[in-house]
Structure 1
C-alpha cells in the first residue's frame, strides 16, 4: 500500500464521529466549573486501570502475545479493564495487532509507519482498511470465547455504565475527566506506540522494520515504548531488556508471578536468567 492508495480508502465515518465526539467533549475540562483535583485523581486511577492493566498487560502482553499464562478469572478481569479503554473490542484489537507484527512496516501492516506519522498514529483507524476483513483469521484462539464476544459487542454500553457510576460519585467533572479526558490520554499514549516508536529512538536489535526504543513513550505507557526490543522478541513478557530500560508492566508480571498468578512467563534469551 502506498500513500496514494491509502488516501483512496473509504472513510470510516462511524469511527471519525466517535473519535471527534470524545475529543470535543474532553475540551470541556478547560472550563473552570468542570475542574476538581478529585476528578483529576479519578482520571489517573482509571488511566492506570484501563491503560496499564487493561491494554498493556491484558490486551497486549497476555492475550495478543501470550507472554505468560494467568487464571481465567484474572484474564477476564484484565480484558474487562482493557474494554474500558474503548479502543475497540478485544478481538478486533488483538487481530489487528497480530497482523502488525506479522507484516510490520510493509503494505499489509494496518498502521505501516512508512505511510507517515499521521497514518500510523490515527489515520489508519479513520479508513476502511483491508486488514479488517482478516481479523477472524488471526483471532481463532479467542473469537469464540463468550466473554470476549460480550466485551467486543457491548464496549460502549459498558462505558456508559461506568459514566453513570462516576456521575453518582462526583457529577459532571468526574464524567468529563474520568471518561473523556482519560480516553483521550489512553488513546494517544497507546497510539504513540504505533507512531512515535517507529520514528524516534534507538534500535538495539535487528527487527527488520522501523521499530525503535523510545524512553518517553515507555514512560507514558508503562514500558511499551521499548518497542524495538519487543519486535525483536515478540513473545517476551519483558520489554525493557537493559537494566535502565524501566518496564513497569514487567514489574507487574513479576509481582503476579510471585503471587502464583502468572505462570509460564516467556523471556528473551538475554533475560532467561532473571
Structure 2
C-alpha cells in the first residue's frame, strides 16, 4: 500500500483568514496567452493547426498533468524509474501551468484547506465560475496565518526539477520553434498560446464543478469541501472528473473506481505496469482503514 505524502503543516494556520491578491506574473502569463489567442486564433486558423491543438492539448494533459504531475508527483500512487518520472513531469511542465514545486504547493495547500472544517471561497470554488476562473488564473491567496509547505527532498533537491521550477515558462519556446518549422505561425498560435490557456482554464473549470455539489457516494469526515463526480466526463478529463472518489482515496492510482467510470490515465498507468516500467501501484485502502470516510460502503474494490 502506498503511504500518503504529508507536505503541509497546518499547526497555527487558518484556511479562512486572508484574501485573494493579484499575482502579476500569473496574470501576465495567462492573460497574454488569452489575448493572443482571442486576437490571432481566427486569422491564423487552419485545420492542421486545430488538429495539432486538439492532439497536443489532450496528450500533454493526459500524460503530463494527470499521470505525471497529479498521480505520480503529487500523490505518489506508483513508482517508476527516474527517467520515466522525469519525462512524465516534463510533459506536465509543457502544459504551461507551473513548475513542479509550484504545482505541488498549489495542490497541497488547496487540499489542506478543503479538508479543514472551514475554508475561504478561493479554495472552496463556490463563487460563480467567471469569478472563480479569474481568481485561479490571475490571483493568489494571501494568508494571514499560512500553513507550511515542505516538499520532500526527492523533488525539492533534484537539480532537474529545480531547473524546471526556474525556467518552466521558457520551455514553450523550443516547442514553438518546432511547431513553426512544421506549420508556421498558425501552429504556434494554436499549438502554444491556445493550448496553454485552454489547458489552464479547462483545468480550473473542471476543478470548479468537481468541488461543487453533485454526484458522489463518499464524504470525508470534518472536511468543509466535499468533491463531486461529473458523469459522462471521464474520457474528456482523463478520469480526473471522478473527484469524489479521489478525495476519498487519494492513494489510489485509479480514480474511476466504479463500472462505467472511464479513466484513460489509469489505463496508461496499467500499460506501464504491464510493461514493467511501473510498480507499487496504489489502490483504495481496505475497509478497516477508512475511518476518515462517512457512510463508506462495506466492500473492497477489486483492481483491474
Q: Same fold (TM over 0.5)?
A: yes
Does the Cα contact within 8 Å between 1:68 and 1:266 map onto a contact in 2?
Answer: yes
Does the Cα contact within 8 Å between 1:50 and 1:82 map onto a contact in 2?
Answer: yes
Alignment of 1:98-177 (within 5 A): 98-104=108-114, 106-107=118-119, 111-118=123-130, 120-130=132-142, 137-141=149-153, 142-177=155-190
Match of 2:229 among 213, 216, 240: 213
Match of 1:83 among 93, 102, 106: 93
User: How far 1:135 moved relative to its partner?
Assistant: 8.6
Distance 2:121 2:277 in 1: 33
Match of 2:210 in 1: 197
Distance 1:10 1:161 in 2: 32
- Alpha-carbon distance change, 185 to 198 in structure 1, aligned in 2, over 3 angstroms: same
Does the Cα contact within 8 Å between 1:59 and 1:79 map onto a contact in 2?
Answer: yes
User: How far 1:181 moved relative to its partner?
Assistant: 1.5
User: How far 1:70 moved relative to its partner?
Assistant: 1.1
Match of 1:13 in 2: 24
Does the Cα contact within 8 Å between 2:50 and 2:190 map onto a contact in 1?
Answer: yes
Distance 1:204 1:239 in 2: 14
Match of 2:104 among 94, 104, 112: 94
Distance 1:216 1:13 in 2: 36
Distance 1:110 1:226 in 2: 21
Distance 2:41 2:65 in 1: 24
Deviations 1:116-175 (A, max 9, x none): 5445444144234236x9697231332111111111111121111111111111100100
Gaps of at least 5 residues in structure 2 are 1-14, 287-299
Give the structure with the higher percent helix.
1
Match of 1:228 in 2: 244
Distance 1:118 1:47 in 2: 22
Distance 1:109 1:145 in 2: 34
Distance 2:18 2:147 in 1: 21
Does the Cα contact within 8 Å between 2:227 and 2:247 map onto a contact in 1?
Answer: yes
More RCO (CA 8 Å, sep 6+): 2
Does the Cα contact within 8 Å between 1:96 and 1:135 map onto a contact in 2?
Answer: no
Q: Secondary structure at the match of 1:129?
A: strand
Distance 1:182 1:43 in 2: 6
- Which protein shows a greater Rg? 2
Does the Cα contact within 8 Å between 1:99 and 1:110 map onto a contact in 2?
Answer: no
Does the Cα contact within 8 Å between 1:122 and 1:191 map onto a contact in 2?
Answer: no
Q: Number of residue pairs matched?
A: 269
Does the Cα contact within 8 Å between 2:129 and 2:205 map onto a contact in 1?
Answer: no
Does the Cα contact within 8 Å between 2:214 and 2:230 map onto a contact in 1?
Answer: yes
More deviation, 185-194/258-267: 185-194
TM-score of the two chains, using structure 2 as the length reference: 0.80
Match of 2:276 in 1: 260
Match of 1:72 among 58, 82, 95: 82
Give the structure with the higher percent strand.
2
